[in-house]
Every structure is written in structure tokens, then in C-alpha cells.
Amino acid sequence: MKAGGMVTVCWFLCFLSACSTQQEGPRPYNFNTPDNLQKPMPVPVHNPTTEEGVALGKKLFFDPKLSDNNQISCASCHIPSLSFSDGKALSSEGISGKKLDRHVPQLINVAWSEGLFWDGGVRNLESVVFGPITHPDEMGKNLGQLVRELQKDAAYPALFSSAFGADSVQSALIARALAQYMRTLISADSRYDHFVREEPGGQLSRLEREGMELVKEKCAACHSFDAGKNDFFTDFSYHNIGLDTSFSDKDERVLMGRFRITFDSTQIGAYKTPSLRNLAFTAPYMHDGRFQTLEEVLDHYSENVQATPYLDPLLKENTDTPGILLREHEKKAILAFLKTLGSPTFSH
Ligand code: HEC
Ligand code: HEC
């Protein structure tokens, strides 16, 4: 009996030590990327995604300590139930209470986006986060101060250690963890997705299919999708869609769109094509949130496109009047199809 007990204890200890060797270092995160989003997801070699890194990034994302008054977190403006947008035209949620220059974009499938912000001014998720943290009208936090506060926190030092093997909190690691978390915000679980992946619950009505064909024909040059393969509903590129006739701007050229970054005059007033996914949650629309409803957006494309030298050539293709002429029935069909692109669940 006694000897048998010893064997059990030995076995148990060996088992424990085997487990702990296995768990050394952070564990790779499995994205389970849906088949109709491009695989593999682009991830920078210097910041592989891990379970521990994502968990730390998520904690940081929802932590108001990242702001100067300890009241604003990333999620104050990027609200999960609104597909990580905020429902306002221009947010004044930041610490200064001042209106921001641009509408809060949703944060889904951002891992694939080659440029971030409406003008693509930031090239990767690792560097995007210093903008909001330090911006005086967003979180207004001094980075050195933030690192010191997290270092003193009861939980954070151990979390940085298990995610990155780091002895101390560092600002670059804050950015890496947040970037890892944001890569996990994949959204491709709508009725449309089930339809193209031939999964249960993936039926589209006749009107919705008609809408899909219309979007393919009239919108997909920019809101690109490729049923079953690359269903992002954006080309991740920049276009002027004729919203305005004047772009002069004294302050940092924020109203000049992509021109502000490239100084290419054909890109005056051009902004990044937003995805057509989850639109039911992300109103109001456009870089400045000027349209409250999708009906207004379609009326814009059909009737109100402004001709300027910077208007995207795709919007002055075949008619005397610029834009994409849409009959009432076509608008109805497009709206019906757009509704099939809403995912009731967001991974987060
Ligand atoms: C006060 C509101 C506010 C807060 C707080 C905020 N953001 Fe944002 N975020 C914005 C706005 C507005 C934009 C669009 C800016 C632009 O395009 O010029 C944006 C854009 C982004 C983008 C680019 C998305 C894309 O598709 O181009 C990312 C990524 C992002 N924010 C992440 C974060 C993270 C991470 C935090 C927390 C550290 C954060 N944001 C905090 C308002 C906010
Ligand atoms: C020439 C490229 C192009 C074409 C064609 C195009 N769009 Fe867009 N779309 C854009 C860009 C760029 C924006 C953002 C513009 C901005 O904010 O200044 C946009 C914005 C939108 C938005 C707002 C989304 C949001 O989150 O704010 C919707 C909805 C939309 N487009 C639907 C359509 C539909 C439907 C069609 C076809 C009838 C279409 N678009 C054709 C490039 C295009």
C-alpha cells in the first residue's frame, strides 16, 4: 500500500513538472481565421500573437489608467457592442471634452489593414496606439508616467513577464500587447458569411441576392469582396467619393484626407474605404459621421456626388452626372444585402 502511494506521488510530481515545462513561455494564439478572409493573417515577425499577449492587451484596452484622468479607456470610444465604434459623428469622449477631427472607425479585421486611420497615416497596429494614448484630446497620458503606474500595479508586472518574459513594463510592450488584442477582433460571422461558406443559416432572399449582384457591379471596385475568399468589403485603399467641393484647411490639413500623408494632389479629400460589414452598429457614416442613415449614403452616391478634379475616376465613369445612379428598387435591394453583412457577435 505504502509503496504504491509513493509511486502515485512520484508520478504526480513528474506530471506536474512536465506540465510546467510545457507551459514555459507564452502559448501561440490560434486565430481560427474564417475561410473567406485572406490567410494567413499578416502578423509581424517581431510580435507573434500569444494567449498571454492577447489577454494583457485586452486588459489594457479596457483600462482607464491609460488616460491622464484615469477615466477614459480605448473602449470608451471603441465600444465592443458597436463593433468597436462609438455611435457619434465626432466623439468628445476624450479627456479634454473637445470634439475630435474624425469619426471613430470600427475596429474589426484591422489586422489586414495596410494603413490605419482614415488617411492611412499610421502603418501598423504596433505604432497606432501611441497616438490615442498621448493625444491631448483623447487620453492625454504621459507615456513615462503610464509605464511607472503599471509597474507599481499589483497585477501588471507579472502579466508583462508572462506575455513577453520582460522584467519590467515598457511602452513598446504596451503597444505590442494592444496590437495583439486588436488582431483578434475578427468579424466574419454574418448571414452572408454563412451563405458563402455554405454553412447552416446561410440563406439569402431573392432581394438580398439581387443586392449582392448590384454591390458587386457598382461598389466592389472599392468595397471589394470575392465571395468565399477575400470578403473584407474594402480594398484598404483611399478614394475621394465626392462628399465636398472645398478642402482647404488651416489646421494640420485634416480635411485634405490622404493628401496630408502623401502630398499627392490626386488624393486630396481621399479617405480609406471603410468595410461594409456591421453597418447596423456603426452609424453615423463617413470620416466625419455626416450621414445618419444608409439611405442618406445611397442618396449621396446616386444624386449628390460633387465633381472636383480629385473625384475618384470610378465615380465619373459612364454618365454625364458624376456618381452611381441608383433606381429606388436598386437602393432597396442594396440596403437589404448590406443588412446581411451584420454579425451579431464580435470576437473580443
Ligand atoms: C477619445 C476617443 C478615442 C479613444 C479613447 C481611442 N480612440 Fe482609437 N480612434 C479614435 C478616432 C477618432 C480614430 C480615427 C482617427 C483618424 O482617422 O484620424 C481612431 C482610430 C483608431 C485606429 C485605426 C483604425 C483603422 O481602421 O484605421 C485604431 C487601431 C485605434 N483607434 C485603436 C485605439 C486604441 C488601441 C486605443 C487605446 C489605447 C484607442 N484607439 C483609443 C478615437 C479614439
Ligand atoms: C470609388 C470607390 C468607392 C465606390 C465605387 C463606392 N464606395 Fe462607398 N466608400 C468609399 C470610401 C473611400 C468611403 C469613405 C469616404 C469618406 O469617409 O470620406 C466610403 C464610404 C461608404 C459607406 C460608409 C461606411 C462607414 O462606415 O462610414 C457606405 C455605407 C458605402 N460607402 C457604401 C457604398 C455603396 C453601397 C456603394 C455602391 C453603390 C459604394 N459605397 C461605392 C469608396 C467607394
CB 158 within 8 A of CB 130: no
Lowest mean pLDDT among 65-69, 194-198, 255-259, 325-329: 255-259
pLDDT at 10 over 80: no
Which ligand 2 atom is the nearest neighbour of the CA of 106?
A: 26
pLDDT at residue number 347? 57
pLDDT at residue number 24? 75
Say if ligand 2 is within 6 A of residue 301 CB: yes
pLDDT at 4 over 80: no
List the one residue out of 218, 207, 217, 216 whose CA is nearest residue 333: 207
What cell was used for 202?
Answer: 446561410
pLDDT at residue number 321? 84
Say if ligand 2 is within 6 A of residue 286 CB: yes
Nearest CA to ligand 1 atom 28: 128
List the one residue out of 60, 242, 266 whose CA is nearest residue 164: 60
Tell me what the mean pLDDT of segment 173-179 comes to. 98
pLDDT at 16 over 90: no
pLDDT at residue number 27? 96
pLDDT at 79 over 60: yes
Instruction: Express each pLDDT in 202-221 by its tens digit.
Output: 999 999 999 999 999 999 99
pLDDT at residue number 250? 65
pLDDT at residue number 334? 98
Residue 72 or residue 227, greater confidence:
72
Please tell me the number of the ligand nearest to residue 126's CA: 1
Tell me what the mean pLDDT of segment 66-83 comes to. 95
pLDDT at residue number 173? 98
Q: How far is the CA of 279 from the centre of ligand 2 (A)?
A: 12
pLDDT at residue number 319? 67
Say if ligand 2 is within 6 A of residue 241 CB: yes
Nearest CA to ligand 2 atom 41: 219
The whole-angstrom separation of Cα 347 and Cα 109 is 10
Q: How far is the CA of 105 from the centre of ligand 2 (A)?
A: 13
Q: How far is the CA of 100 from the centre of ligand 1 (A)?
A: 11
Nearest CA to ligand 1 atom 26: 116
Mean per-residue pLDDT of the chain? 90
Say if ligand 1 is within 6 A of residue 77 CB: yes
The whole-angstrom separation of Cα 3 and Cα 340 is 66
Instruction: Express each pLDDT in 222-231 by its tens digit.
Output: 999 997 789 9
